Chain A
Amino acid sequence: MSEISSTAVSVDVQALRRRQGRFSALESGHRACLGCGQALAVRLVSESTGPDIMVANATGCLEIFTTPWPESAWRVPWFHSLFENTGAIASGMEAALKAQGRNTKVVAFAGDGGTFDIGFQALSGLLERGHNVLYVCFDNEAYMNTGIQRSSSTPHAAMTTTSPPGKARMGKRHLKKDIISIVAAHHIPYAATASVAYPSDVRKKVRRALAIEGPTFLQIHSPCPLGWGHEGDKSIEVGRLAVQSGLFPLIELERGALTGAMPLRQVRPVAEYLKAQNRFRHLFAKSEWADEELEHLQALADHNIEVYGLRGEGRDALDSEGADTIHRGGQRWA
């Protein structure tokens, strides 16, 4: 390092740049569980937003584990008001910045409970009024902060503390709400799903959303080791299986129309995904009912593959196995 010739410098600078840690809005030392998908998702999102953002954060795990007073893990301006008003808080911030002529981008962060359920109305208002806000939902498929209760995002048949399996029940009775379609039905410029298991896809979608003046929405599948019942070091694997089975399709919608879907070259059986998590263990009890539910979930995945045309036929470049690299007509972003 001490003797760098002038010709070598330019090369090394490039190499150094590539190795340099990207900006992250989250400092280390926060109190998320090991392997928390949501914590990782925030890092990925903020690597692409950079520091010039203002965050409106809903009540939930993320809010709690980042700001135990007097500590804060945030390196960007961050505001938490309530569980269900994040869409409106972000709207107000954006209106104020607009009135002041400031260009800082407003980003809203909320869990699936704060988005699909209790905060749904405020979100719809934000989308309808066209505020220039990127709304990110960290979808861990239950109310984790209060101890794993079902939300309308919880998948069918999953076990939570308010949808326990038993003699008369096989976990959650209802389907996972199709939030992305509902959001897209507001005809906003851009709405997409993503998964922490595909980091460069997340970054790319964030950059895409940020470039748009207007409301944009990102639903990031964020495994929760505690709530889903898997080891912390399996979060990425589990997240990837959700995508590869077709249960959680990665799609993009512009003004309500489907414009992108990540193809799956090798589709994995849903059972593989379910087996990896305790919240589905009652489905492997070898009862007739359990088998029916397994079939049902497989049918849901098949349906997604059909509707979104997920079965990849292209070259390897389109392969979701390629983990961090998803090429969809664009260049790889280092």
Chain B
Amino acid sequence: MIKALEGSQALAEAVALCRPQVIAAYPITPQTHIVENLAKLVANDKLQCEYVSVESEFSAASVALGAVAAGSRAYTASASQGILLMSEVLFNIAGMRIPLVMTCANRAVSAPLSIWNDQQDSMAVRDAGWIQLYCGDNQEAVDTTIQAYKIAEECELPVMVCVDGFTLTHTLEAIDIPSVEQVDLFLPPFQFSRTLTSQQPMSAGALVAPDIYSEARYSHHQALLKAAEVIERVDNEWQTATGRGYGGLVKVELNPDGETGLLVLGSATGTFYDAIVEQALDEVRLIRLRSFRPFPIAALKEACAGLKRLIVVERALSLGSGGIVTAELRAALAGSAAMPLIHSFAIGLGGRDIPISTVADLLARVEGATEPVAFEIFAIDSDKLSPEDQ
């Protein structure tokens, strides 16, 4: 059914459709509306579940972890400082191969303090061993949340659904909320092979010696690589069920034959899409990276084939190094016959607006370049800085 909903409200409805038995969350802007809406659903008996109002994000993640270990589908959500506070638990959840789904309402991290959107929070925990899916719009956020449970439970891996804070979470859109029947047909009831029971006692979370740790990491890494196929398949199944698919791992949104690539994650895609269409930039191939973990090397190679230049646009950076996605992409494409010239930019940090003119500005910036832009935070106004910082 099509409803006009705020992103957070739509996400809450999507979560409820997946019937989690335990929800644990701690408020933080811009995630708050999601958990408020879930609390409302529970209060009105529209969702029957244990809603655990924890005292911190650290406990939110831990409660969800304990709940899955004891055999229930669970949900949590956070952002920014909350994700960082959770980080120890996030690594633990993934290492224990716990099928949990969480929403990261992407927000910048402090200091300086900012409540606005970029993707530094989820990028900071990219090595935790979670699947990370970045959503282009709220319809996709809803659909990806439902897909995420299926992926998580099939792969026994946690999934972080990354949704740009405010840009998506606080924006009203017309959204097709799937029916209960659709979701029930698509998503099997929760089952976890390693559920704890006193009938068949099992110990989980043991100390391992150096002779097995590497193998454990290997199998976790393999599991993430193998998840790529599941992510694609589940997206296809969803397309069959609802008519909506998102390209699985990577999607070429526009001009598949264009020789100038523009690669982006998350909601900025919409702005770039409009810019390319409005300005009839037919040579610009718009590529959206949906799955950042696993990092889909093969799919990216395919999406980038035939490019002369590629502009990578990121919403975070590795301070002292540069573009995070760019570095991985350069490594992935290195050595391939037709490696494009890869230009790397961070834009829209801490909620800075990404106007529709950005595409033209970026194209102008790299026009005629024979050397790659190694990394640049785009459109810095150095007049705002003191002379010694410029």
Q: Is the CB of B66 within 8 A of A92?
A: yes
Tell which of B160-168, B193-201, B318-326 binds the partner.
B193-201
Question: Chain B 194-221, CB within 8 Å of chain A: the 1/0 string?
Answer: 0011100111111111001000000000
Q: Is the CB of A96 within 8 A of B50?
A: yes
Which residue in B64, B201, B204 is a CB contact (below 8 Å) of A75? B201
**A129 interface residue per 8 A CB criterion:** yes
Q: Is the CB of A85 within 8 A of B59?
A: yes
**B70 interface residue per 8 A CB criterion:** yes
Q: Is the CB of B66 within 8 A of A69?
A: no
**B81 interface residue per 8 A CB criterion:** no
Residues of B within 8 A of A52 (CB): 198
**A40 interface residue per 8 A CB criterion:** no
Q: Is the CB of B72 within 8 A of A99?
A: yes
Residues of B within 8 A of A79 (CB): 66, 69, 196, 203-205
Q: Is the CB of B206 within 8 A of A125?
A: no
Give the distance to chain A from B209, nearest Cβ to Cβ, in Å.
7
Q: What is the CA–CA distance of A76 and B201 in the complex, to the nearest angstrom?
A: 5
Which residue in B58, B70, B89 is a CB contact (below 8 Å) of A96? B70
Which B119-136 residues sit within 8 Å CB-CB of chain A?
Answer: none
Question: Chain A 67-85, CB within 8 Å of chain B: the 1/0 string?
Answer: 1111010111111111011
Q: Is the CB of B92 within 8 A of A56?
A: no
Give the distance to chain B from A80, nearest Cβ to Cβ, in Å.
3
Give the distance to chain A from B51, nearest Cβ to Cβ, in Å.
9
Q: Is the CB of A97 within 8 A of B70?
A: yes
Look across to chain A and name the residue whose beta carbon is closest to the beta carbon of B64: A92
**B67 interface residue per 8 A CB criterion:** yes
**A267 interface residue per 8 A CB criterion:** no
Q: Is the CB of B198 within 8 A of A92?
A: no
Question: Chain A 128-155, CB within 8 Å of chain B: the 1/0 string?
Answer: 1100000000000000000000000000
Q: How many A-B residue pairs have CB under 8 A?
A: 166
Q: What is the CA–CA distance of A43 and B203 in the complex, to the nearest angstrom?
A: 17
**B22 interface residue per 8 A CB criterion:** yes
Which residue in B22, B68, B204 is a CB contact (below 8 Å) of A80? B204
**A197 interface residue per 8 A CB criterion:** no
Q: Is the CB of B198 within 8 A of A51?
A: yes
Which residue in B24, B56, B92 is a CB contact (below 8 Å) of A92? B24
Residues of A within 8 A of B21 (CB): 95-96, 99-100
Q: What is the CA–CA distance of A299 and B293 in the complex, to the nearest angstrom?
A: 60
Q: What is the CA–CA distance of A115 and B65 in the complex, to the nearest angstrom?
A: 19
Q: What is the CA–CA distance of A104 and B159 in the complex, to the nearest angstrom?
A: 29
Q: Is the CB of A95 within 8 A of B205?
A: no
**B71 interface residue per 8 A CB criterion:** yes
Q: What is the CA–CA distance of A182 and B134 in the complex, to the nearest angstrom?
A: 44
**B62 interface residue per 8 A CB criterion:** yes
Q: Is the CB of A93 within 8 A of B196?
A: yes
Give the distance to chain B from A140, nearest Cβ to Cβ, in Å.
19
Look across to chain B and name the residue whose beta carbon is closest to the beta carbon of A131: B52
**B104 interface residue per 8 A CB criterion:** no
Q: Is the CB of B58 within 8 A of A122?
A: yes
Look across to chain B and name the residue whose beta carbon is closest to the beta carbon of A50: B198
Give the distance to chain B from A146, nearest Cβ to Cβ, in Å.
13
Q: Is the CB of A89 within 8 A of B65?
A: yes
Q: Is the CB of B203 within 8 A of A74?
A: yes
Residues of A within 8 A of B208 (CB): 69
Residues of A within 8 A of B72 (CB): 95-96, 99-100
Given A63-B207, A100-B71: A95 and B52 interface contact (C-beta under 8 Å): yes
Given A88-B62, A92-B74, A96-B72: A78 and B55 interface contact (C-beta under 8 Å): no
A-B contact pairs, 6 of them (CB 8 A): A92-B63, A92-B67, A93-B66, A96-B70, A96-B71, A124-B55
In the complex, besides A67-B207, A96-B50, 11 extra interface pairs with C-beta distance below 8 angstroms are: A63-B207, A69-B207, A72-B206, A76-B201, A80-B205, A88-B24, A91-B54, A95-B63, A96-B72, A122-B55, A125-B55
Give the top 6 A-B pairs by smallest Cβ distance, nearest first: A92-B66, A80-B205, A88-B62, A96-B72, A92-B63, A88-B59
